[in-house]
Amino acid sequence: MRVLLTGSAGFVGGHVAEALGQEAPGHEVIAADLRTGVDVRDPAALDRILPGVDAVIHQAAKVGLGVDVADLPGYASANVYGTATLLAAMARHGVRRLVLASSMVVYGEGAYDCPRHDRVRPGPRRVEDLARGVFDPRCPHCDSVLSPSVIGEDAPPDPRNAYATTKLAQEHLAAGWARETSGTAVALRYHNVYGPRMPRDTPYAGVAAIFLSALRSGRAPAVFEDGGQRRDFVHVRDVARANVLALGAGTAGALRAYNIACGVPRTVGELAAALAARTGGPEPVTTGDYRLGDVRHIVASPARAAAELGFTAAIAFEDGLEELAAQFERNG
């Protein structure tokens, strides 16, 4: 299979390229990235590289939260217009298989249960609550404290920031493309990806890289809120393997979404403490700071990916952190 990989020079994209060579050596990979001179917003560039392509793995995106309204045009250009341009070019050249890098951020808050109202979806957290240090969402019906649960792919989306909104738009565009062309579209909703070659000291660095960067400088990791926010941390090599598996999945004429996650929740505070212990650095400091675009808890059910893709995360959290800490120590 001849596979066009966009975003091939990025954190996840680089690992996907390696996985295609190691786990599916029969594939021919065409690497496309801004660093190779290919912008997915450029139809002429796409027309040069798409002939003869059998499938596209679309990793190219502007990432991060997008913390201000002024960020919207940049995210819309890279993620929405870029994806639309790519899909139009795929239709012109008869490419009928897409694996899309999506994200758990399309859900907004995760799944919650209320003692009185069962499963509920809370709205955005109130600024006055956050300012008082009340970080957990409340039931929208009775204001009770909610218990976090796992979220499946059929939960209604509720994006809470610029990045999340554009990732959901990518899924909608891919679904429309699949219907119009009888193509096959698979959206992989990555949860918190970490591992070797994470970006550091940039607005797009994952929280593990931010903590390690602080530790390398002798500073205590600064943990927002009370450190109790729950996430699902999945290793980048597992994510790359999921992309390879997804090339053979899906149904013509439709988009199918999958959580790419471990299914084991960890708190951000636990992550910071584990990294500090592994590097011998200062203990984390809980700041109480918050960002309005953040969500409190988001933990995935990976059952659909296991059943339909044959994907189960293989790299244990502890092993992944050991590797990440060792890499940052070596590279400074």
Q: pLDDT digits over 147-177, tens only?
A: 999 999 999 999 988 889 999 999 999 999 9
Q: Report the alpha-carbon distance of residue 267 to residue 321 in Å, rounded.
A: 14
Which DSSP helix (H) or strand (E) runs through 178?
helix 162-181
Helix H, strand E, coil C: the string for 45-93 is HHHHHCCCCCEEEECCCCCCCCCCHHHHHHHHHHHHHHHHHHHHHHHHC
Query: What does the pLDDT average to over 295-304?
Result: 92
Q: Report the alpha-carbon distance of residue 246 to residue 97 in Å, rounded.
A: 10
CA torsion, ordered 191, 312, 8, 201, to nearest 10 deg = 40
Write the Ramachandran bin of 73: left for phi over 0, alpha for psi from -120 to 50, otherwise beta.
alpha
What global pTM score does this model have? 0.92
Q: What is the pLDDT of residue 201?
A: 55
Query: 126 in a domain, yes or no?
Result: no
Query: 89 in a domain, yes or no?
Result: yes
Q: What is the pLDDT of residue 50?
A: 97
Using alpha carbons only, what angle is made at residue 222 by residues 105 and 163, rounded to the nearest 5 degrees? 20
Q: Report the alpha-carbon distance of residue 148 to residue 229 in Å, rounded.
A: 10
Domain of 258, CATH number, reads 3.40.50.720
Query: 207 in a domain, yes or no?
Result: yes
CB 291 within 8 A of CB 231: no
Q: What is the pLDDT of residue 73?
A: 93
Q: What is the pLDDT of residue 329?
A: 73
Query: What does the pLDDT average to over 39-64?
Result: 95
Number of domain units in the chain: 1
Higher pLDDT, 311 or 160: 311
Q: Where in 282-332 does DSSP place strands (E)? A: 285-286, 299-300
Q: What is the pLDDT of residue 97?
A: 98
Query: 223 in a domain, yes or no?
Result: yes
Query: 53 in a domain, yes or no?
Result: yes
Range of 255's domain?
2-110+151-331
Q: How confident is the model at residue 94 (pLDDT cuts 50, 70, 90)?
A: very high
Q: Supply the Cα-derived Rg of the chain in whole angstroms.
A: 20
Q: Report the alpha-carbon distance of residue 41 to residue 91 in Å, rounded.
A: 15
Q: How confident is the model at residue 66 (pLDDT cuts 50, 70, 90)?
A: low
Query: 185 in a domain, yes or no?
Result: yes
Q: How confident is the model at residue 202 (pLDDT cuts 50, 70, 90)?
A: low
Q: What is the pLDDT of residue 225?
A: 95
Residue whose token pair is 């953040």:
294
Angle between helices 268-279 and 317-331 (to 10 degrees): 50
Taking alpha carbons only, the member of 230, 207, 292, 258 closest to residue 104 is 258
Taking alpha carbons only, the member of 102, 277, 127 closest to residue 190 is 102
Q: Which percentage of the chain shows pLDDT scores above 70?
A: 96
Query: 122 in a domain, yes or no?
Result: no
Q: What is the pLDDT of residue 64?
A: 73
Query: 137 in a domain, yes or no?
Result: no
